[in-house]
């Protein structure tokens, strides 16, 4: 992400989103869960959010409405409402132009659609029309004379002529075609676009274009991309949109909107702490079988993928079989995973030391499985399990120090080693009370020089259950 873009992002006070193939996948209706977090985070920062769509407001699906946008710029800018349903701007097409357009469709032998502020109608039904329109608007009525009782803000063509279809001279001064489907174009006012509708909102709020960020993917976003202070194209956008965009993000399915806003510093990932409700984790699981009992753990591949992959592969290969816990310190931790038993050996599956994977969602609380190392990015095969059950800090003190409240509470009530956070990669957690009993039993063995047990505590094997 360009540093200049991050600087421009600091000026953003309102964000407008296209709907189809931007917020959600048009053909399937899929909308990533991250969109809810995007809207929530932007609102919490005092940034307004809006919809800018070729759809009519009656075609805004429930899951988009539930996001509670502040503004709806609909019908390619021809009709604009705020969240209270109050009209901000409207630009209906004069009735004589509508009638002239209908006469032309009959002359060239194509079907048409008429769109009002809160409803629409078709001139006819056919498999081609159904295939084009039903994905966006279901159960539209056939009413060729819809314009006689309703203001018309937009129209459609239904045909198989594609871009070869052109308006005649006596209409092209008032209307233009914006292709949105192989068999249909939006027919909009020559002066209308999403940009004109959004501009009305910006002016109403007393803002400037530099305060506006927009997301889009299709040709009807071109003018909006020109107008906005910052524009972001979805990963599957029309090539002309790519040319206009300040930044190209990932696709809808890849959480493209969240990814771009996170890189701009406008939203933050909503943190989940899998160690807090450990019973809700779905695995993978590992059982460390020792000569003093078994310890069952859940692993966290989402937060520490490379570390978990290393531990699972070594365990399945029998790398840890017969290896001792070579360093045990009561009220601190138990450490093992070195085949040499010296604390100086051990290799990863990567054939070299590998990097730390510090997650803001994982901490060295009591029972945490964490990587031993010799400094930053020196992980191999050695690991430790935090055993300390006493901590001289209150949850309030830890929260003030920057630890998340749920984690601070665990540290204060159950113990752990917070001074190891951001120094050692946490990648697992003990699962049950029996495992904690074994952990404490191991921690109490007699030790000698270098905290090495007088009698070996042996890892017989580590069994892995993939999720």
Picking from 53, 47, 44, 1, the residue whose alpha carbon sits closest to that of residue 24 is 53
Picking from 52, 89, 69, 60, the residue whose alpha carbon sits closest to that of residue 194 is 52
Q: In angstroms, how far is CA 73 from the centroid of its own chain?
A: 24
Q: How far is CA 58 from CA 31, 95, 282, 324, in A?
A: 19, 22, 41, 67
Tokens coding 326: 């070579």
* 3 state SS of 223: helix
- Judge whether 163 counts as a catalytic residue: no
Q: H or E segment at 196? A: helix 194-205
- Separation of alpha carbons 296 and 289, rounded Å: 9
Tokens coding 194: 């999403």
- Separation of alpha carbons 214 and 53, rounded Å: 11
Q: Is 388 exposed, middle or buried (0-12, 13-18, 19+ CB in 10 A)?
A: buried
* Bridge partner list, 115: 120, 154
Task: Exactly one of 18, 21, 255, 356 is catalytic; name it.
Answer: 18
Q: Would you say 302 and 309 are in contact if contact means Cβ atoms under 8 Å apart?
A: no
Picking from 83, 145, 139, the residue whose alpha carbon sits closest to that of residue 116 is 145
Picking from 330, 319, 401, 411, the residue whose alpha carbon sits closest to that of residue 363 is 411
Residue with token string 């919490």: 44
- Separation of alpha carbons 173 and 96, rounded Å: 14
Picking from 211, 214, 174, 168, the residue whose alpha carbon sits closest to that of residue 195 is 214
**CA atoms in the 13 A half-sphere facing the CB of 145:** 2
The DSSP letter of residue 93 is P
Backbone phi, then psi, for 17, in 5-degree steps? Answer: -120, 135
Q: Which residues are catalytic?
A: 18
């Amino acid at each position: 992400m360009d540093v200049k873009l991050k600087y421009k992002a600091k000026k953003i006070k309102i964000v407008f989103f296209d709907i189809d193939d931007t917020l959600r996948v048009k053909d399937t209706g899929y909308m990533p869960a991250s969109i809810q977090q995007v809207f929530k985070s932007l609102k919490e920062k005092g940034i307004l959010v809006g919809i800018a769509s070729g759809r009519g407001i009656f075609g805004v699906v429930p899951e988009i409405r539930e996001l509670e946008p502040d503004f709806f710029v609909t019908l390619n800018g021809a009709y604009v409402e705020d969240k209270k349903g109050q009209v901000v701007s409207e630009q209906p097409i004069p009735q004589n132009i509508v009638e002239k357009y209908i006469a032309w469709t009959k002359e060239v032998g194509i079907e048409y659609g008429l769109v009002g502020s809160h409803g629409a109608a078709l001139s006819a039904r056919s498999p081609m029309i159904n295939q084009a329109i039903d994905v966006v608007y279901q159960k539209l009525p056939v009413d060729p004379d819809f314009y006689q009782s309703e203001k018309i803000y937009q129209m459609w063509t239904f045909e198989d002529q594609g871009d070869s279809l052109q308006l005649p001279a006596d209409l092209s001064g008032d209307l233009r075609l914006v292709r949105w489907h192989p068999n249909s174009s939006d027919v909009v006012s020559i002066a209308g676009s999403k940009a004109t509708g959004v501009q009305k909102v910006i002016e109403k709020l007393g803002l400037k274009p530099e305060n506006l960020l927009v997301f889009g993917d299709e040709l009807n976003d071109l003018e909006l991309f020109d107008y906005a202070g910052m524009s972001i194209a979805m990963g599957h956008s029309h090539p002309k949109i790519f040319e206009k965009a300040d930044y190209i993000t990932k696709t809808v399915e890849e959480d493209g909107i969240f990814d771009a806003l996170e890189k701009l510093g406008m939203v933050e990932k909503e943190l989940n702490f899998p160690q807090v409700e450990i019973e809700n984790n779905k695995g993978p699981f590992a059982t460390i079988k020792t000569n003093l009992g078994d310890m069952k753990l859940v692993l966290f591949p989402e937060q520490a993928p490379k570390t978990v992959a290393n531990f699972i592969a070594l365990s399945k290969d029998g790398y840890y079989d017969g290896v001792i816990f070579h360093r045990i310190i009561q009220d601190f931790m138990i450490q093992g995973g070195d085949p040499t038993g010296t604390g100086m050996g051990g290799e990863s599956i990567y054939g070299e030391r590998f990097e730390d994977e510090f997650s803001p969602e994982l901490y060295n609380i009591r029972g945490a499985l964490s990587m031993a190392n010799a400094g930053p990015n020196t992980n191999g095969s050695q690991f430790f399990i935090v055993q300390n059950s006493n901590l001289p800090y209150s949850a309030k003190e830890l929260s003030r120090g920057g630890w998340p409240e749920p984690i601070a509470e665990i540290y204060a009530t159950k113990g752990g080693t917070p001074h190891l956070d951001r120094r050692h990669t946490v990648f697992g957690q003990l699962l049950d009370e029996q495992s904690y009993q074994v952990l404490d039993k191991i921690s109490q063995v007699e030790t000698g020089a270098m905290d090495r047990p007088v009698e070996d505590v042996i890892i017989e094997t580590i069994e892995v259950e993939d999720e």
